[in-house]
Amino acid sequence: MINLKNDRFLRALFKQPVDVTPVWMMRQAGRYLPEYRASRTNAGDFMSLCMNPEFACEVTMQPLDRYPQLDAAILFSDILTIPDAMGQGLYFETGEGPRFKKVISTIADIEALPIPDPHKDLGYVMSAVSTICRELNGRVPLIGFSGSPWTLATYMVEGSSSKDFRKTKAMLYDNPQAMHLLLDKLAQSVTSYLNGQIIAGVHAVQIFDTWGGNLSAAAYQEFSLAYMRNIISGLVREHEGRKVPVIMFTKGSLWLEGIANAGADALGLDWTYDLGEARRRVGSQVALQGNMDPSVLYAKPEAIRSEVGRILASYGKGSGHVFNLGHGITPEVNPEHAGAFLRAVHELSAQYHE
């Protein structure tokens, strides 16, 4: 086991003292970086980038090499690797996002779905984790991740991204038995997939429930949160003598208390929350991650710095906060603005950790 040179990200997730607030960015390896675009061109396409461990390692390391302030790396992959391993045939249309060759529409379709073996069917991801860990050599922790069962189900039933989730919600209400069967298979798949990443070397995992916030309160509890709770209860929480924290991120969710009781160590928040209010509601139970509006990065560095200061002040003194954007960094952001953001977090947060 390699000792970490910088573990403040993990310490913050466990609400232990830190010198400055740790920071990383969702989608920090992405199209806003010219070096990433060059790697994607060399790989040929996005899926080739994801499925080649050397390329996945290369793009994972790029933001760390550019921004020394980053306190964590995140595995370069895609949330839809599990449905692809189930035989759905993931591909990407330029400008259109992810699509599947097969679409789930009947209970027979769901019954035919296999539960992927993380080491055989998703072995390229495990190889990428191992490769990245060797390259990091303890520099910072590596975050593994998966999509939530509900989020994965929406893509599998719709066949692509969706604005209204009409097919998925119709199945949920017309045939809840079928939807529960699909979500149960996905929960089993996510659990084994994340455990595979943990055994391969990641230091923390995040569950991305990108579309859970589009459900009603009752439907969220039954069709999203319940399955994430099942996943968390089945995860390896200690490996090679170290605890492995779990972050849950439901974009647009209003149900903080319910999420905080699901067993995760930290909650990711989008920018619609007041961070101080979230801390008052659930901060005694879990750490909080977030939550600057990614669009702030389009502003001038002085405005970015001001917003970072406001969010830090909202959280207040003490540990238990991992600074992040409220969602992924967007492709049009100037990389210099991202750098200004990261520098501001470390420079302005020291006063809160005296």
Active site residues: 27, 31, 40, 78, 155
Written as one letter, the residue type at 224 is: S
Q: Is 147 annotated as a binding residue?
A: no
- Are the C-beta atoms of residues 221 and 258 closer than 8 Å to each other? yes
Q: Where are the beta strands (DSSP E) in 264-348?
A: 266-268, 287-292, 321-325
**How would you classify residue 52: left for phi > 0, otherwise alpha for psi between -120 and 50, otherwise beta?**
beta
Is 218 marked as binding a ligand?
no
The reply, when asked if residue 78 is annotated as ligand binding, is yes
Q: Annotation-wise, does 272 bind a ligand?
A: no
Residues whose CB falls within 8 Å of the CB of residue 114, separated by 6 or more in sequence, listed in order: 86, 87
Strand 142-147 to strand 73-74: parallel, antiparallel, or no bridges (unpaired)?
parallel
Q: How far is CA 50 from CA 89, 158, 162, 228, in A?
A: 15, 23, 23, 25
Measured in residues, the chain has a length of: 354
Residue 124 assigned ligand-binding role: no
Residue 29 is assigned to a ligand binding site: yes
CA distance 295 to 270: 12
In the structure encoding, which two tokens stand for residue 18, read together? 């830190």
Distance of alpha carbon 99 from alpha carbon 84, whole angstroms: 10
Residue 321 token pair? 């906060």
Instruction: Enumerate the known binding-site residues.
Output: 27-31, 78, 155, 210, 327
Instruction: Enumerate the known binding-site residues for substrate.
Output: 27-31, 78, 155, 210, 327
